[in-house]
Amino acid sequence: MNAEALPLSTREFAMQIVHKLSDHGYQALWAGGCVRDSLLGKQPSDYDVATNASPDQVISVFGAGRTLAVGAAFGVIVVLGPKGSGLQTEVATFRSDGNYSDGRRPDSVSFCSAEEDAQRRDFTINGMFFDPLTEQVIDYVGGQSDLQSQTLRCIGRAEDRFREDNLRMLRAIRFSATYQFHLDPETLQAVCDCAVNIHHVSRERILNELRRMLQHANRQQAFQLLLETGLLLQIIPEFQSLTATNQPALESVDRMLGRLKSSSFAPAAALLLHPFCNDSRTHAVKQRTAKIDKICRGLTMSRKDMDCILWILQTLPLLKEFSAQPLHVVRPILADPRAEQLLQAAHAAAGILDSSPAVEDIAAALTLQQQYSPETLCPAPLINGDDVQVLGIPPGPQIRQLLESVRSAQLDHQIADRSAALELLRSLVSDQSPQD
């Protein structure tokens, strides 16, 4: 086990907790994900400690000032590190769970032994303990064997584990894809059988799992498993029509997700939802936008994520034949803070979607973007609405049209300063004026 996987201060703090509980006569072990990741040679993101000390005993050992009873009812106490360190570790009492009537949390818990505690966890690879004092792995569920065979398997009866917490189905997909483990046949079948129950999970929790899948390099495998198990059709019902009538669209999504080189959510989500933007049955731009907007809202995405996804989908076709596009079209795009995510999506879509730019278009866009700062690519406008109204133009769409015309000329390098902009504006107003 790679004990030095995390920065020393974090590991030392987790070790201090184990030592202190042990000094007071309690058993204390590292548990769950940190054990799994260390055995895989990966750097754990944090440590969890499991102990036979009750929540009150944990508080007594570390003091009320250094503990937070965030989940005392479920046996979980957060132990805080030294002031200013930012360190904190969850310390959970070994427990067995009662019924899960809400499909998320147990109705009751009872404190128990480490072996009993292991049985209530989700997957064998997450059900192991490690004693840092003796440097021994404690495995009651066959997690080490499944790590070696690269198998994701539920502890006990898979259907029971999923009915206890329906989110575990999505976690099964995420873990399988992330670690490139194959799903144990019983576990896979249970996901398929229980997929409809994912509706008992809050949309926020579903989105969080989907986000983590799409941000990971193995997002293509996650997409394939979501399709295979039927979970994708449950969390995004709009995919029902694609699976029945537009298999090529699904194949395109699969290929694009496999080619995407990004750890950002929006480019992956945009490629996932692209078929609905390109749906031939929704001709109007507003209809296509509304469909994507509806899906994003159904997943409770933030307005920022929704806007970025829509912007990528709407802007992607504008990069096609990039060199032939006028500067006033491409310069604001490349100056946009989201341009990098757009180009990442474009690379993944090149040669797959008819509406996507070619590799040469993307290279030309990237070259222009790298040559100039955003301020140079898209400088501040030379005139504003007040300048138009001074010339007697009343408030209305005509002002916007005139400002856009002058702005286009500025970005196309046809005018370079305010004086030239005002001269062009006067000329445009004169041309639009009624002739005697």
38, 48 contact by CB (below 8 A): no
**Quick one: fold of 150-213+225-231?**
Hydrophobic Seed Protein (1.10.110)
- Label residue 289 by pLDDT band (50, 70, 90): confident
- Label residue 5 by pLDDT band (50, 70, 90): very low
Q: Which helix (H) or strand (E) holds 31?
A: strand 28-31
Using the CB atoms, write b or e for 259-292: b if 16+ within 10 Å.
bbebebbbbbbbbbbbbbbbbeebeeeeebeebb
Contacts of 393 (CB under 8 A, 6+ apart): 399, 402, 429
Report the pLDDT value the prediction gives residue 101, as an integer from 0 to 100.
Answer: 63
CA dihedral 390, 394, 399, 401 (to 10 degrees): -130
Report the pLDDT value the prediction gives residue 35, as an integer from 0 to 100.
Answer: 97
Report the pLDDT value the prediction gives residue 83, as an integer from 0 to 100.
Answer: 85
CB atoms within 10 A of CB 352: 16
Report the pLDDT value the prediction gives residue 7, as an integer from 0 to 100.
Answer: 46
For the residues 261-285, what does the mean pLDDT come to? Answer: 80
Q: What is the mean pLDDT of the chain?
A: 91
The CATH superfamily label for domain 1-149 reads: Beta Polymerase, domain 2 (3.30.460.10)
- Label residue 285 by pLDDT band (50, 70, 90): low
- Label residue 436 by pLDDT band (50, 70, 90): very low
Report the pLDDT value the prediction gives residue 109, as an integer from 0 to 100.
Answer: 74
Instruction: Encode pLDDT of 95-119 as tens digits.
Output: 987 676 655 666 667 889 999 999 9
For the residues 403-407, what does the mean pLDDT come to? Answer: 96
Report the distance separating Cα 106 and Cα 103, nearest Å.
8
